Structure formats: C-alpha cells, structure tokens
A and B are shown apart, each in its own frame.
Chain A
Amino acid sequence: MATLLQQLINGLVLGGLIALIALGYTMVYGIIQLINFAHGEVFMVGGFASLATYSYFIPESWRSDWWVALPLMALGGALVAVILAVIMERFAYRPLRNAPRLAPLITALGVSVVLKEAVRLFYPGATAPVPFPRVFVDEQYTFEIFDGTITIGSTAILMIAVSVIGAVVLQTYITKSRMGRAMRATAQDPDTARLMGVNPNRTIVLTFVIGAALAGIAGVLYGIQITNVDTEVGFLYGIFAFTAAVLGGVGSIKGAVIGGFAIGLIKSLAGQYFPGGTQYDLVWIFVLLIVVLVFRPQGLFGEPERVRA
C-alpha cells in the first residue's frame, strides 16, 4: 500500500514536469501543425540556462535565499528558452510554412540535434551530467501509513503546483484574452484570421514564446528536483511530453495536462508492477501511444483531424 501510494506520488511529480513540457508541444501543434521536435531540447536548454544564471550571473550572497535565487533562475531559463524559440521560429520554421510537411519536421530534428550538441560542446562540463543546486526549501515530508512510510519533497510539491497553476492560467488566457482568441482563430484558419485583422505571424511567435517559457520553467523545476542536468534529458522528456500531448489530444490544454499526469503515472506504475520493471517502462508508454494513435488518433480530448486546405 505504501509502495503503491509512493509510486502514485512519483508518477504525479514526473507527470507535472511532463505536462509543463507537453503544453508547448500541444500549443505549437495546435496552431501550425508542426511537431516541434526541438521543444524537448528547449526544455533542456532552459535547465542549463537557469543553472548558468545561478552559477555565473547572480552574486554569491543572493544564492542562499531561494525567494531571490529561484525566480531569477526561472527568469534566466525562460528568457533563454524564449530567445531560442523566437530565433528557431523565425529562421528555421517560418520559411518552410508552405513547404511539404516532411520539411519542417526534418528541420525540427536538425534543430534538436544542434541545440543538444551546442550545449554539450559549449557549456562547461556538460559532456557529463552537471550538478544542479537545490535552491528551493530542501525538506522531505515523511508520512507513516498502514504498512510503511511515504515521502514527498518540497520541490516535488512545487513541481505539481506550478504545472497545475500554469495550465489553469494558460487555459484562462487562451479562452478569455484577445490574444488567446487570435491564437484559436489562427489555429482554425490562418487566412480567415488574417482577414479578421489577426496578424498570424505575431500570433505564431507568441505561441512559441509561451511554450518556450513554460519549458524554461520546467527546466528549473527539473534541476532542483533531480539535482543535476544532462544534455540527454531533452530527448527523453521531449518524447514523454510529446506522447502526453498526443494522448491528451494535440491542441488541447486540458488534454496535455491530463496526458502528462497519465504518462507519469504509467511510467512509475509500470516500473513497479509490469513485467520487465523499469527496463520496459518506456516500452509500455510507447505501446500505449501506438494503441491510442491507432484507435483514437485525435487523442482523449482532441478534435478529429481536419485536412488542411
């Protein structure tokens, strides 16, 4: 029982992280039907950028106070992620908007390789995992229940909280604000949206920016939770997040969050209870993905795919 509960908690923590990244995938796909393969790497870069903020940009005396250091790190991570996303959109994806659909996908693959390698080559010590300071309150809360104990850390609680709050804010923004309406309009029909006075380019950039900022924040949260960053994590979590977005239905905010938590739970429960244990948890996630795609291609909360004019 304690094990099950603990695994559920592990799953939710991982799920919160995946959900934050998945939001970026789902928004970008929703608006320009592009699988932004590089999004996972943007998350990784966000982690490294926030680490750089901590180790190279804020004075040592500020580092001990988490309410100073953590927001600055999040800012640094998100800022670099956003700059990257804007450059990426402007120079790699925008010129290909009317190209055959394979072209931007392959470009995205190229961008992801470039980002990963750039960090590996130019961040000091990034050829191996780099230690990350646990800037936040370092507390572990332990509870005694029926047949054992369960533990949850303060960073884990922060992770879940941020992802849920982030998703709620985002959902409100998209449904209520003027810019959000523009986004939905562009997603449905860019040409008509333009006629209605929406600037599609600006809207698309904004979408990239929001997604990247969330990924940057996810990078910080990942760092303080796992206490190291590594150039490899972008690919792995990118895949998880993409799977979550597909599972929830690409284009749906609610879907991405629920999908994220579902993937997190599956990973931890499969690792514990399924044959093969942690060695095959990835396999179970992929099996689920394939099954969902084959039997419900629009995902749990998505709309059936439209053929774009």
Chain B
Amino acid sequence: MNIPIGWKYLAIFIPSVLGLIGLLVLIRFAWKKGTEYVTPRPTLSRPLSIGGAALGIVAALMPWATFVLNEGAYPDKSTLQFFDSPWAVSGFRLHTLLLSLVALAVVFAPIRKHRIHKALGWSLIGIALINAAFIAGNGGGFGAITSDGSSFAFGAVIGLVAGIALVFSGKAGPVEPIPHLSTDVSRVVAYAVLVVSFTALLLGVAMMLNAGGQGGVGNPYAGPIFLSLLAFFAGVLGALHAVGVTGWISRLSDKHKWFSIVVLLAVALGLPFTEAGTDYWMTTATNIGVYAATAIGLNIVVGLAGLLDLGYVAFLGIGAFVAANFSGAAAAKMGFELPFLVAVIIAAIVAGVFGAVVGSPTLRVRGDYLAIVTLAFGEIFKKSAQNDIGGLTGGANAIPGVPPINWFGLSFDKPLEIAGVKLPSGVMYYVLIIVLVALVMVVFANLKNSRIGRSWIAIREDEDAARAMGIKTGKAKILAFLIGATLAGVAGAVFAHKTSTVAYDSFQFIESVTLLAAVILGGMGSIPGAVLGAALLLVLPEKLREFADYRLILFGFALILIMRFRPQGLVPDKHRRAELANEGAEGVPIEELNLPDDTPGGAKAQVAR
C-alpha cells in the first residue's frame, strides 16, 4: 500500500520542530550556565572584553560570504578577502569594526564598562546573525558563511563569538548602576546639547530610511542593510544609555520642555532637506502622520480611558468620506467645493458625533463586550460604505479624483522650491501632517493632565471606585470616544486629499488592528509611543519588502510577545508602566531600585516621591 505523502512530511516536520526546540533549550541552558559561571568572577571581565573586541575587529576584516550572491554582490564587498584592504570596509563591516574599536577603547577608559560592553555585544550579535541568516538563506546554506571549496568566510561566525564574549564580559561581576549626570548646566549648554542630539536623531532617521535604497530590483539587499544599521544604532544608543547620556538628554528636554518641542518640530520639518527627502518618503511619512494622529486619538480611548475599540478605523473613514464629499470631486455627493479647513472642521464634527454614538453603549456595556460592540460598529460602517449608503461613499466605485489641497495657488502635490533648494512633491502634505500631529500631541498632553484626563485614568483603573469618587463616568467615557473620533476625523480629511481615492476597502478590520498595535507597541497612554508605534508599523514593512508576505504574521507575533514580555510598550507612559511592568515611576526596574545608588536624589528618591 502506498503511504500517503503527508506522513513523509510529518516524519520530517516533527523531528525538525523537536530539534529546533531542543536547540533553543540548549542555547538557553548554555547561556544560563555561562552567566552563572562568569557572574561571580569579575576578573574575567577584562580578558573577555579585550578578546571579544579583538575578535570583533578580526570579524570586520574577514570575508562574510564565500561567493557572490545570485542577485549581485552582497552589500559592501562581503567577499572581500582577509586584510586585502583593511581601509576599504564599509557598511555593516565598518559598523562591526567601529563597535569593536569602541569596545576596545572602553576597556582602557576609566568608566563603568559593563553595560557598555553588553550593549555593544548585543549589537554585534545582531549584526552577525542578521547577515549570516541572510547570506546563508539567500546565498545557499551553511557553506556560504563558512567555507566553500577554496574560499572561506568566517566573518559572521567570529562576529557572533565576539558579540557573545562582550556580553559575557559585561555579566562578569556585579551589576553597575547607570551614572546619573546632573542637569544643572547653563541654559546655553543645555540648548546646544538638545539641538545637537535632536539633529543627530534626524540624521540617523534619514540614514535609516535611506539604508539600502528603496528596495526592489535595484536594491535587492535593502532589508538586511537596514536591519544591520538598526542593530548598529541600537548598540550605539545602548552604549550611550549605559554612560547615562540618553537619560541625561531626556531629563534636559523635560527641564526645557518648550525649547525641546520647538527643536523637535524644526527637526521634523527638516526631514525633506535630508537624503530622505524623496517623493516616496514624503508620501510614506504623510501616511505615518495620518496613522499617528489617528493612533493618538485611539490612545485616548484605549490608553487613557481603558475602553478597547476594535472598529476605530471607521472614524478615519468617516473623516475621509466627509472631506471627499466636500472636495468637489466628480463623484462627490455635494456638487460644490469647500475650503480645506472648513471641510476638516466638518469632518471632525461628523466623526465626533459618530464617536459619541458608538461610545453611547459604554454606558451599559463594559470591558470585553464593549470591544465586540465597537467591532460591530466598524463592520457596519464598512458594509454601509461598500453599499454606497445614501450615495455618500461611492460604494464599490469609491470616490476617485479628490483634488489635492490647494492653498493660495499652491497645489500640495507639486514639488516645491525654497531658496534654491528643490523639495520633493508631497512635501507640503508632509509639513501639514507634521503640524497636525504636533497639534494633536499638544491636545492630548493637555487633556491627559486635565481634570477630564485624570477621570479617564480613574475609570480605567476602577470604574466603580471612580464613580464613587464623584466622577460622571458615563459622560467621561462618551467624551473620550468623541474626542478620539474627532482627531481621527481630522486625519481622515488629510488622508482623503493625499490618497485622492477614498474607498471603503481602506478601512477594514485589519486597519483597526494596525492602529491598536501601534498604540500597544508604543505604549498605552503614551504620546510619543503612539507616534513611534505608527512609524514603526509603516516603515518596517517598507524597508523589509522581502518579508512583505510575512508582515501580518510577524505583526500577530509582535502583539502576543509584547503583551507577554513588555505590556507597557516601547515608550511607556510614566504612570502606566508602574502598574504594567512592576517598575518604579521613573522606569527603573524594581530589582534595580535595590541597588546601591550613588546619586542622592536619584532614581530611588524620585520613586519615593
């Protein structure tokens, strides 16, 4: 009898899964044993770090691939032979070299080095793994990164070992606290530091956006180049954090709040002048802005008031359809054109009214049930839009041909020239959306610290207690929906003009999940978090086009893992992280609060406050 083919696959599949699990368990076991071994032996730190750094330098100068990959030379001459031209290394090998040199320099510097080495080590591990996986996966198997006939390329392997050695050198001996730099510096110095650091941030972002080009056939390796650069920046940031610089800058910007906001705004507006100033990134950035503004609105509902909304994209859609109908497009219901600003206000009002309607069941429905009710509203919106309800949505034909915004004869979709600098088309949309996001952020920040914001947080924590304290919970909850929806409506109006076609299928359930993921990834209740989350969720798929098919599955895993391991998100809200991650209010993990603290009035004292 013929054995059906499935059993054969199963016979391969089950052992490989078991093998993989076994491998992971082994790695974890080895890691734990290694940590246990080095931790009580501080004397190991120095040799390990010197060895690791030296290996890192060797790795940078070694070839990483044994042969040229199918789609052309792997970036930056990864087949370059051993010490052929030590000064010609570039790209990820240059980064490896830099990280290793810094690690070596730090060994001899009179500062606390454990955390620095850990950060640099992790960065090296990251670069090594990313490039090894890509070369092996794309170029063909293990031979591509080790030896193959006459040629050999152990760069990735050595880099990995170097990284591990550095990480373990950081583990040898007791944990060191992060230095606490004083913010008592003169205003001039503080301002200069802020300007420099934000400008560096801008240049870093521009560099990342442009890493490896736009992908596609012209730049087949954009994905790994981008990821390597990301790992490098993460290492640099980690090292800066370890010496206390990032904490210092963040405290400085807290101290000079308004100045930082102005600088940040100026820096954001400076993006079109950098290498990322292309049509493509302007469009993507505008989309990010639309999502960020909407995500901030959602953050009011989910992050502050604790009401899970799974149909939120409907408000973006309502805003977009309203604006489209008043835009003078041929398919619009209204045969006349309103000025953009008026249309925005109408869109906001209409979306807000719908927000209040959707929010009204919150008076009776709580928690998980509410999530389903909002999901139901989202689906009702989609169905209605698809069926061209009242002739307002164009149904299956959508509303095409929404004209670009036009202010004072300046059409927003045309390229621009300011003082001889040619700016890409779409730059005006970018400026508009930056200003809009900034405004939304200000609104959110003020709301959060207002009376109503505090009552939202109280409702989130314990609705019954909040009511007992005299908060009108019903009113507050509906207000949360109303304000959140208003912000989404404004974003939707910009969206309509930018995309030029408003179709129901842009507002499906998965978009609501994306928005929610942006909020959760960034950190519930956190303003910069929502923006960062939206940016990540839109930039990563653009950069990692090779994995486009895996976008959603990674996205699902991200949701699960974040909830499991970092429920407070990437940029946690100060109050929120205290509850979600057992951390002190300043973001220091509880266990570290027990460490001897060398700075009076430092983290520990602030927690006690």
Interface residues of A (CB under 8 A from B): 29, 33-35, 52-53, 55-61, 92, 95-96, 99-107, 109-118, 121, 235, 239, 242-243, 246, 276, 279-280, 282-283, 286-287, 289-290, 293-295, 297, 305, 307
Contact = CB atoms under 8 A, between A and B. Distances in A.
A4 B336 CA distance: 47
B553 A117 contact: yes
B308 interface: yes
A118 B379 contact: no
Contact of A242 (B4, B372, B557, B559): B372
Given A290-B361, A294-B364, A57 B383 contact: no
Contacts of B366: 297, 305
Interface string B542-571: 000000011011011111100110010000
Interface stretch (B5-13, B182-190, B252-260): B5-13
B330 interface: no
Contacts of B555: 110, 113
Contact of A297 (B364, B376, B549): B364
Contacts of B10: 57
B2 to A, nearest CB: 6
Nearest to A53: B6
A52 B6 contact: yes
A245 to B, nearest CB: 10
Interface in B14-49: none
A235 B509 contact: yes
B73 to A, nearest CB: 30
A294 B520 contact: no
Contacts of B509: 235
Contacts of B522: none
A117 B379 contact: no
Nearest to A242: B372
B563 A96 contact: yes
Chain A CB within 10 Å, residue with most, of B7, B361, B372, B377 = B372
Contacts of B379: 239, 282-283, 286
B53 interface: no
29 contacts: A35-B371, A52-B6, A55-B6, A56-B6, A56-B9, A57-B6, A57-B7, A60-B2, A96-B563, A100-B567, A104-B563, A107-B559, A109-B310, A110-B563, A113-B513, A113-B553, A114-B553, A121-B549, A121-B550, A242-B372, A243-B372, A279-B386, A282-B379, A282-B383, A283-B380, A289-B376, A294-B361, A297-B365, A307-B464
A104 B560 CA distance: 9
A297 B364 CA distance: 8
A138 B245 CA distance: 73
A289 B372 contact: yes
A57 to B, nearest CB: 4
Interface residues of B, number: 53
B383 A280 contact: yes
B368 A117 contact: no
Contacts of A307: 464
Contact of B552 (A61, A104, A113, A242): A113
A207 B437 CA distance: 46
B383 A283 contact: yes
A96 B560 CA distance: 10
B367 interface: yes
Chain B CB within 10 Å, residue with most, of A96, A109, A243, A305 = A109
Contacts of B553: 113-114, 117-118, 121
A101 B364 CA distance: 18
B448 to A, nearest CB: 18
B384 A283 contact: yes
A293 B1 contact: no
A307 B369 CA distance: 14
Contacts of A101: 367-368
A35 B372 contact: yes
Given A56-B9, A102-B308, A280-B383, A117 B560 contact: no
Contacts of A56: 4-7, 9
Nearest to B553: A117
A58 B4 contact: yes
Contact of B559 (A29, A113, A287, A297): A113
Shortest Cβ-Cβ A-B pairs, 10 listed: A56-B6, A110-B559, A113-B556, A114-B556, A286-B376, A117-B553, A110-B560, A57-B6, A107-B563, A35-B368
A110 B7 contact: no
Nearest to A299: B369
Contacts of B308: 102, 105-106
Given A60-B2, A110-B563, A290-B376, A280 B387 contact: yes
B572 interface: no
B373 interface: yes
A105 B513 CA distance: 12
A110 B563 CA distance: 9
B567 A103 contact: yes
Contacts of B296: none
Contacts of B373: 289-290, 293
B369 A297 contact: yes
Contacts of A276: 387
Contact of A103 (B371, B386, B563): B563
A105 B368 contact: yes
A22 B20 CA distance: 36
Nearest to B8: A56
A146 B197 CA distance: 83
A96 B376 CA distance: 26
A29 B373 CA distance: 17
B375 interface: yes
A286 B364 CA distance: 16
Contacts of B513: 109, 113
B557 A110 contact: yes
Given A107-B564, A235-B509, A293 B556 contact: no
B262 interface: no
Nearest to B372: A242
A294 B564 contact: no
Nearest to A101: B367
A110 B556 CA distance: 4
Nearest to B509: A235
Interface string B587-604: 000000000000000000
B516 interface: yes
A101 B1 CA distance: 53
A112 B556 contact: yes
Contacts of A243: 372, 376
B306 interface: yes
B556 A106 contact: no
Given A106-B563, A283-B384, 6 more contacts: A35-B368, A106-B559, A110-B557, A115-B556, A283-B380, A293-B372
